[in-house]
Amino acid sequence: MQKSNNYDAVIIGGGASGLMCAISAKQKNKNISVAIIEKNDRVGKKLLSTGNGRCNLTHNNITIENYCGSFKNQSNIVFEKYNTKKLLDIFKNLGLLTFCDNDGRYYPLCKQASAVLDVLRFACDRLNVEIFCGENIRSIRKNGNNFSVKTDGNEFDAKKLVIANGSKAAPKLGGNSSSADYLKNLGHSFIPFSPALCPIKVKSDVIKSLKGIRATAKAVLFDKNGKFVKEEIGEVQFTDNSLSGICIFNLSLYTKKDFLISLDFLPDITDRELNSLLYNNKKLFSDLTIDNLLTGILQKRLGQAVLKESKVTDFSRKCSTISDSDIENIVRIIKNMRFPVIENCGFEQAQCALGGVNGCEIDEKTMQSKIVKNLYICGEAIDICGECGGYNLHFAFASGLTAGENL
């Protein structure tokens, strides 16, 4: 038999936005009753994996230019109220000290994601937020002025409901499409989820030979008509069929089939300077085989891949036999190795997801639905996604704070 529980507010999802929403609500009004319903066996499971287990919780330069999605422009209102300093002050008041690295990313001083989760959990305990874990939701319905939430073992009645249970990204950590189902059933339009901040599958004859290599490069994304889309500089990692690394993850927010990624492996060296370096190596290594030409310039396997892409494939030849046109082709490939895009890798490798509730259906000042009164939405269930560097967690916390103070 199902047990009935009545609350002023029920929050679906015990992740970053859901926990912060509950804390915000209880700090604003200690007398309201708040419950969190979480499908996993514990709250904050995904939070523990962020920042390679260190939790990159925000960035020192939060602007809407680091985001995409239909809620992008509206999010400026959220960030104006909950900027980086405000969020760090909130965490400090919860007991968490932080530091900023050289790239502007903020982490807990102890460098443990578990510390971020712990201060959130402890705050929920102090504020008497009730948390129900291991709850599989069977239905959510509007019942008059209230909301009825049925799980396998409980029934919850709430005056206000918050959808904060994320997206399909990282299914091993609990990611799923349930927020889409709940919100569509309540009358919202929903932009389908698609994987983001993930490796990108590409077409290449040499990609398999580069598996495991890491190389600093300027990565430039072009659309199928050759128009510039976005540029990133950083470490590129090669797998057997895809490109990876933070700079590639950021490009994945904008990729589509038949787009093109161009890699410049020596962005600080001009074509002319590189041409001179190659002629110098031709003389230095004149008696050595051609596969040694790029010694001291590129990693060995990467250099061999560049030569193959340059149609210099007979590695038994001596460096002294390299022609001017060969050197011209090698320079071109080093500065512009092209990888046609097939698609983003799947949700299993995605840190976040594009898609969610259409931004025009949410009041950015309160995070309340414009479609259903007393329904609030925060975090990844909204159509907004940020770049790597703490941007997505910042939005999760900031949107949760905004929703919570309006419950």
Q: Give CA angle at 204 (325, 285), nearest 5°.
A: 40
Q: How confident is the model at residue 180 (pLDDT cuts 50, 70, 90)?
A: confident
Q: Are residues 162 and 298 in the same domain?
A: no
96 lies in some domain: yes
* 79, 141: one domain: yes
Q: Could you tell me the pLDDT band of residue 145, with boundaries at 50, 70 and 90? A: very high
Give the up-direction half-sphere exposure of residue 15: CA atoms within 13 A in the CB hemisphere: 32
Give the residue from 166, 234, 274 showing the smallest Cα distance to 387.
234
Residue 66 lies in a domain: yes
Q: Flag whether 210 is in a domain.
A: no
Spatial distance between the Cα atoms of 5 and 151, rounded to a whole number of angstroms:
11
Let me know if residue 249 belongs to a domain: no
Asked whether residue 270 is domain-assigned, the answer is no
β-strand partners of 369: 362
Tell me if the pTM is above 0.85. yes
Please report the pLDDT score of residue 1 as a whole number. 39
**Among 95-104, 168-177, 200-209, 218-227, the least confident range:** 168-177
Same domain, 32 and 143: yes
Here the CATH number for the domain that contains residue 370 is: 3.50.50.60
Assess contact for 161 and 374: CB atoms under 8 A: yes
**Pair (175, 317) in one structural domain:** no
Same domain as 374, residue 301: no
Domain shared by 104 and 12, yes or no = yes
For residue 159, how many C-alpha atoms fall within 13 Å in the half-sphere facing its CB? Answer: 8
Q: In this model, does residue 120 exceed pLDDT 70?
A: yes
> Residue range 110-133: average pLDDT?
97
Q: Which two tokens stand for residue 243?
A: 């490109």
pLDDT tens per residue across span 67-107? 999 999 999 999 999 999 999 999 999 999 999 999 999 99
Full DSSP string of 309-326: HTT---TTSBGGG--HHH
294-302 average pLDDT score? 96
- Rounded CA-CA distance 158/54 in Å is 35
How much is the pLDDT for 3? Answer: 54
Structure tokens belonging to residue 280: 């110098």
Residue 177 shares a structural domain with residue 324: no
Q: List the alpha helices (DSSP H) in 265-336.
A: 271-284, 300-309, 324-335
Does 314 score more than 70 pLDDT?
yes
Rg of the chain's alpha carbons, rounded to an integer?
25
Give me the percent of the chain exceeding a pLDDT of 90.
Answer: 93
Question: Does residue 397 sit in the same domain as residue 306?
Answer: no
pLDDT tens per residue across span 238-287: 999 999 999 999 999 999 999 999 999 999 999 999 999 999 999 999 99
Work out the average pLDDT over 108-132: 97
Residues 295 and 361 in one domain: no
Residues 290 and 183 both lie in one domain: no
Look up residue 92 and give its DSSP letter: H
pLDDT of residue 4 exceeding 70, the answer is: no
pLDDT at 171: 83
In this predicted structure, which of 140-144, 271-275, 338-342 has the lowest mean pLDDT?
A: 140-144
29, 123, 401, 407 from 26: Cα distances, Å: 5, 10, 11, 9
For residues 307 and 293, the answer to whether their CB atoms sit within 8 Å is: yes
> Do 40 and 138 lie in a common domain?
yes
- CB of 275 closer than 8 Å to CB of 226: no
Asked if 380 and 316 sit in the same domain, the reply is no
Evaluate whether residue 176 is within a structural domain.
yes
CB atoms within 10 A of CB 101: 12
Query: One-letter amino acid identity for 380?
Result: E
* pLDDT for 39: 94
The mean pLDDT value of the chain amounts to 95
**How many other C-beta atoms are found inside a 10 Å radius of the C-beta of residue 171?**
13
The arithmetic mean of pLDDT across residues 119-136, rounded, is 97
Dist CA 228 CA 117 (whole Å): 40
Decide: 288 and 319 in contact? Cβ < 8 Å. Answer: yes
Cβ neighbours of residue 49 under 8 Å, at least 6 residues apart?
A: 113, 170, 173
- Could you tell me the residue range of the domain that residue 176 belongs to? 3-194+353-405
Total tally of structural domains belonging to the chain: 2
Q: Within a domain: residue 362?
A: yes
Q: Please state, in angstroms and as integers, the Cα–Cα distance from residue 392 to each residue in 17, 26, 90, 208, 272, following that order.
A: 10, 24, 17, 32, 41
pLDDT surpasses 90 at 52:
no
**Is residue 239 within 8 Å of residue 339, measured between CB atoms?**
no
Q: Domain boundary at 262, 293, 328, which?
A: 328
If phi > 0 it is left, if psi is from -120 to 50 it is alpha, else beta; for residue 260 that is beta
Residue type, 381: A
The answer as to whether 240 is a domain residue is: no
Helix H or strand E encompassing 105: strand 105-108
